[in-house]
Amino acid sequence: MCGRYFLNLDENIEEIKKILDEISQKYEGNPILRKVKSGEIFPTEFAASIVPKDFQREAEILRWGLPLQNKKEVIINARAESILEKPLFSSIISNRCLIPAQGFFEWNKNGGKKQKFFIKPKDCNVFYMAGLYKRIELEGGILVDGFVILTTEPAEEIKHIHNRMPVILKKEYEDLWLFENGSTKALKSLFSRILKPWEGGMEIVEVKNN
């Protein structure tokens, strides 16, 4: 699974600056802009994202997690292998998004002690995880868009840490994920091709005292 990830919106990287500029202009004067998290991002926090609009990428603010019926617990991940079979996800299969990140965190239990690791693709400053989103209602009747991050089998380098990892899209697959339409059969074929474990190598850093 993916329970936390990292994106520093203050980083002097053109790709990140562009996303921040877009959401800053779009939500100027809106209190939600102050809620957008920078740094280590936790479930139920608001995060920068990319959604499709008129066959163009549009920066957006989404909240991580889809609430269960009791609205107290949230689903934060979806298994890529079963998104077309599970009603919760198949019903929003056209609501696909990209979640920008600079790394994600996983924990490994060793002798009763949990060790935290920061993981990212090699030679990659910013990457995009595959996500699905939908309109949700929070307590008090507030409507926002919530998202889940898709997961897949782990890359070879991190199998000893966790048995799942977020779907990290290759550059050439990002727009296919966002915009491609078709029959369930066609989408199933597409997803089996692009929603796969990362094959470009992973960098793993042990996080001390955290």
Section 70-94 average pLDDT: 92
pLDDT digits (tens, 9 = 90+) for 97-147: 999 999 999 998 877 788 999 999 999 999 999 999 999 988 888 899 999
* Per-residue confidence (pLDDT) for residue 82, from 0 to 100: 96
Side chain identity at residue 21, one-letter code: D
How many angstroms separate the Cα of 209 from the Cα of each of 42, 115, 116, 117, 206? Answer: 18, 9, 9, 11, 10
DSSP assignments along 12-26, one per residue: --HHHHHHHHHHHHH
Q: Which residues are catalytic?
A: 2, 106
- Mapped onto helix, strand or coil, the DSSP state of residue 169 is coil
Q: CATH number of the domain that 141 lies in?
A: 3.90.1680.10
Band (pLDDT 50/70/90 cuts) for residue 71 is: low
CA distance readout (Å), 141 to 47, 129, 168 = 20, 29, 33
Task: Determine the structural domain holding residue 28 and report its residue range.
Answer: 4-207
In the predicted model, what is the mean pLDDT of residues 2-14? 95
| Number of structural domains the chain divides into | 1
**Statement: residue 70 has pLDDT above 70:** no
> What pLDDT is stored for residue 210 in this prediction?
61
- pLDDT greater than 80 at residue 209: no
pTM, two decimals, is: 0.96
**Which of 15-19, 61-65, 69-73, 206-210 is least confident?**
69-73
CA dist., res. 156 & res. 193, Å (int): 18
Q: What mean pLDDT value characterizes the chain?
A: 94
Alpha helices in the chain (DSSP H): 14-26, 87-90, 171-179, 184-194
pLDDT digits (tens, 9 = 90+) for 140-189: 888 999 999 999 999 999 999 999 999 999 999 999 999 999 999 999 99
Beta-ladder partners of 133 = 147
* Backbone phi and psi for residue 191, each to the nearest 5 degrees, phi listed first: -65, -35
- 35-49: per-residue pLDDT in tens? 999 999 999 999 999
Whether the per-residue pLDDT at 10 is higher than 70: the answer is yes
Q: Which residues contact 154 (CB under 8 A, 6 or more apart)?
A: 161, 162, 163, 164, 165, 197
Per DSSP (E only), the strands in the chain are: 4-7, 39-41, 46-53, 56-64, 66-67, 74-75, 77-79, 96-101, 103-110, 113-121, 127-137, 143-152, 165-166, 202-207
Q: Please check whether residue 47 is in contact with residue 60, taking contact to mean a CB–CB distance below 8 angstroms.
A: no
